[in-house]
Amino acid sequence: MKSNSRKAVVVGAWVTTGVLGAAALTGVAMAADSSPAPTGASTTTASTAAHAGAGAAKLRGLGKRVLHGEFTVQTKDGVKTYDTEIGVITAVSPTSVAVKASDGFTETWTLDSTTHVRADKAKGTVADLKVGETVRLLGPTSGGTATAQLALVRPATG
């Protein structure tokens, strides 16, 4: 069961990336369609390639800018809803962590035995979560309660 939950989190992360990628590529396609028609065929190919390259560059940075959100994933066990948030830890206990995103959104996440913590690119524990640190959380939500399955502590910037 533990591996199914982990797989669901990984699937959820990839689905989020795919959704954000599709949105970015749709924007690139719309921008390409709305630009003035080029005069030569070679210009059309170069213009389309330039738009696609710009879209790919924007897509790479988009995931880092997602502050918080909810997404739904179809799994072999049924439909699952996940939350994600990045922000500053405002309170922490052995069973929960409160995080405030830069836009003011605050969510209290449940911490349990399925929570995986990564700090300084190494495995950590819930004890590694400290008030004032920036963290990215991802996990399932049910009945308005989000349970962190993954907590990535961002390194402090100098």
Q: Does the pLDDT value for residue 11 go beyond 70?
A: no
| Measured CA distances, 92 to 81, 82, 115, 125, 145 (Å) | 24, 21, 14, 12, 16
- What one-letter code names the amino acid at 90? T
Mean pLDDT in residue range 94-99: 97
Q: Whole-model pTM?
A: 0.63
CA atoms within 13 A on the CB side of 120: 4
Q: What gap in Å lies between CA 24 and CA 28, rounded to an integer?
A: 6
CA angle 83, 19, 72 (to 5 degrees): 40
Question: What are the pLDDT digits (tens) for 32-87?
Answer: 333 444 444 444 445 555 555 566 666 566 667 789 999 999 989 999 999 999 99
Are 151 and 136 spatial neighbours (Cβ–Cβ below 8 Å)?
A: yes
For β-strands 145-147 and 134-142, DSSP reports them as antiparallel
pLDDT digits (tens, 9 = 90+) for 121-157: 899 999 999 999 999 999 999 998 999 999 999 876 6
Q: What is the mean pLDDT of residues 87-109?
A: 96
Residue 12 has a pLDDT of 56
